[in-house]
Structure 1
Amino acid sequence: MDQNWTVQRVPAADGAEIVLHSVGIGPGVIVVHGGGVTIEMYRRLAVRLADRFTVHLYNRRGRADAAARAEPYDGEQDIDDLATLLAFTGARNVIGHSGGGFIALRAAARRLPIDRLALYDPAVQVNSLGSYRWLPAARQAADAGDIPRAMAIVGAGVHTESATSRLPLALRIAICKIFLRTPIGRTMGELLPTTLDETALIHRFDGPPEQWAGVEAEVLLACGANGPDYWPPTNAALASVMPHARTLVVPRANHDALNRAPQHLVDALAEFFLAPPGRGPRGGSSSIRSRGERDVE
């Protein structure tokens, strides 16, 4: 397996540079990472797919080696950058995680040249299935510079399945102060205002699933069996209106499963992307069924 990373600087539509990190051999797959993190969290996934695919990672605007983000944030720059990378790499496969899933789905709805789109815990608001009532309080704390408090509020609002989310706020804040001393905690803390901007945009797109009915790509809507309970019905609602979509519940997985890249999830993604034409959700009978659902064992 080729694990030698290549780094290329790709001119963006606005004249900035997108730094593209690639590994592997085979059909191209572009990963659109989630909010609050950088591509470092996805290198394990890339390496584990690299024996079958050329996996492309890039930091979205305002993170690590990426250019500054345009303000006010509306997500258009994210879509433009993905369009640039699709054209540059020739890849037609995309993985979107969390907030990156929202960006990737918007890109597919714009009919960007995406043939197959795998979304894991996509942060898409459908009929208010995932509550964002916590957003104003988190924003107020972040604006006041109280990042531990803001992080505690966000964590409880997003990870409703976690036992930590049911602890008193003061205890959650204490836990976040410790977490912020770690490398990943510092990154998430620094990016929290950015994450809240993205969350507010996602909330503005709340509505019926039919707004995504024009997505023509083959879509795999995946979530973890151990994750928040709002993702399975959200994915089911999206799959019910997209003509070539199916859902997948991944056992023994929660929101960070894509970062941890367990083999059963990696193999499910590879199966989806490698299915012969006409054997995937776009039509025909196969183990990947249109608008169906199965568990990965």
Structure 2
Amino acid sequence: MTHVTSRDGTPIAYEQDGSGPAVILVGGGLDDGSENAPLVPELAGRFTVLNYARRGRGESGDTPPYSVHREIEDLDALITAAGGSASVFGASSGGALVLEAAAAGLPIDKVAVYEVPYMSDETAVVHWSEYVGGLTAALAENRRADALALFMRLAGSSEDDIAGARDSGFWPALLRLAPTLAYDAACLGDGRPPVVRLGAITRPVLVTTGGVPDPQMGGLRPGFFDEAADAISAALPDATRQIVAGQSHVADPKVFAKVLADFFA
């Protein structure tokens, strides 16, 4: 594991493989870089791939107070390490961070995002606000298990799913990552697509969703991610909208790597 130092002194851990134009992978909620790791060998034959743990996750450090601007600086440090420019892929809430970074003017060649969970109707925005309030209170009292349960309910998990997660071997790792749920919430702002900021992105953006609902997100309204993706695409000056057939919220790396490679190339 290699580290780069962000502007505020925070060490950001990443792994690098391959050769060719640089591609940086950005994970979403409750991810320390593991979710994107299978994409690395699939892309490394054509690209120099950097997969990192966002601040507060894995071997990366954390420096309070948190701000989205600091996460953008983390990505900027990685782009510098990659040679000064890179294409960037963001999954789920990591896609919101990537879009904010592109809007901020980072030297990004192309952007790709997958199933960014913006809210496309006012009912969902109200639920999002309630979630953020509950999450803030739970984390302030260090009730990490409650914070995780709130997140899972928001994402459409059933109570049985939550109970099964609590009894699973990966629950302790999720508890360690629970404070970073606040970071993902900050990246998504009030939950609505930031239309004005998206309009400032001049680089090409690939906006993707899967064609199959995730079985762990059965409580989400049908079409949730597609509606968000359509709203993102409509706000961007240079967007390509694509549905990746047969994929759910965590796409098959072999299938999705080809989608990314074709776009980034």
Which of 195, 206, 220 is the aligned partner of 1:220?
A: 206
Rounded to whole Å, the distance in 2 between the matches of 1:29 and 1:142 is: 33
CA 1:127/1:113 → structure 2, altered by over 3 Å: closer, same or farther?
farther
Any idea what the Cα deviations from partners look like across 1:247-271, whole Å, max 9, x if unmatched? 11122212122xx41x222111110
CA 1:42/1:172 → structure 2, altered by over 3 Å: closer, same or farther?
closer
Q: CA offset at residue 29 of structure 1?
A: 0.2
Q: Secondary structure at the match of 1:134?
A: helix
CA 1:32/1:201 → structure 2, altered by over 3 Å: closer, same or farther?
closer
Q: How does 1:58-77 map to 2 (within 5 A)?
A: 58-71=52-65, 73-77=66-70
One-letter code aligned to 2:23: V
Rounded to whole Å, the distance in 2 between the matches of 1:256 and 1:79 is: 24
Any idea what the Cα deviations from partners look like across 1:189-247, whole Å, max 9, x if unmatched? 22112213431552336356233111111101111122352111111111112111021
Q: What 5-or-longer segments of structure 1 have no aligned partner?
A: 1-6, 160-164, 275-297
Match of 2:72 in 1: 79
**TM-score of the aligned structures, taking structure 1 as reference length:** 0.76
Match of 1:153 in 2: 150
- Determine which structure has greater relative contact order: mean sequence separation of CA pairs < 8 Å that are 6+ residues apart, divided by chain length: 2
Match of 2:216 in 1: none
Q: CA offset at residue 65 of structure 1?
A: 1.2
Match of 1:273 in 2: 264
Q: CA offset at residue 123 of structure 1?
A: 3.7
CA 1:43/1:35 → structure 2, altered by over 3 Å: closer, same or farther?
same
Q: How does 1:222-261 map to 2 (within 5 A)?
A: 222-227=208-213, 229-257=223-251, 260-261=252-253
Q: What 5-or-longer segments of structure 2 have no aligned partner?
A: 214-219
One-letter code aligned to 2:190: R
Greater Rg, structure 1 or structure 2?
1
CA 1:269/1:150 → structure 2, altered by over 3 Å: closer, same or farther?
same
Match of 1:178 in 2: 167
Q: Kindly report the root-mean-square deviation, in angstroms, between the aligned alpha carbons of the 2 structures.
A: 2.4
User: Which one is further off, 134-143 or 185-194?
Assistant: 134-143
Match of 1:264 in 2: 255
Q: Secondary structure at the match of 2:147?
A: helix
CA 1:193/1:69 → structure 2, altered by over 3 Å: closer, same or farther?
same
Percent of aligned pairs with the same amino acid: 27
Note if contact 2:23-2:88 (Cα within 8 Å) is conserved in structure 1. yes
**TM-score of the aligned structures, taking structure 2 as reference length:** 0.85
Which of 94, 99, 105 is the aligned partner of 1:100?
A: 94
Which of 5, 13, 18 is the aligned partner of 1:11?
A: 5
